[in-house]
Amino acid sequence: MDFDGLYEKAKSVLNPRWLSDWVEVGGVGAAILTESGNVFVGVCIDTACSMGFCAEHAAAAAMVTAGENRVLKMIAVDWEGSILPPCGRCREFISQLHPDNLKTEVKVNADTVMTLKELLPFDWRG
């Protein structure tokens, strides 16, 4: 699957809404393509106490639950359809799930694809 297809998958799960006075969800959607060709999606969960997580984390959790951990491509979009680069926590999280995930292609904006390695230039692993 190409990034256009992943973009549509990420966009399809967007559903911004409040679950309670303290929790907002669905404002960012993410899609990840695995080595086996499966696509996993997720949405962000933002909590007042900062215990939520990003859409990329949700998608990765679904992937790991399904028994996979190698990500080939990933993308995240906001409720307006703009592509967002992953935050530092997401970059680090995905990179640690499989040694080859540093080669994961990440769409960081409409015109740019980078690897996780490029997004983590001073990687603590050397």
Catalytic position from the list 8, 56, 80, 105: 56
CA dist., res. 122 & res. 119, Å (int): 9
Q: Note if 68 is an active site residue.
A: no
Three-class SS state of 26? strand
Three-class SS state of 84? strand
Q: Which residue has the tokens 């230039």?
A: 121
CA dist., res. 39 & res. 31, Å (int): 6
Residues taking part in catalysis: 56
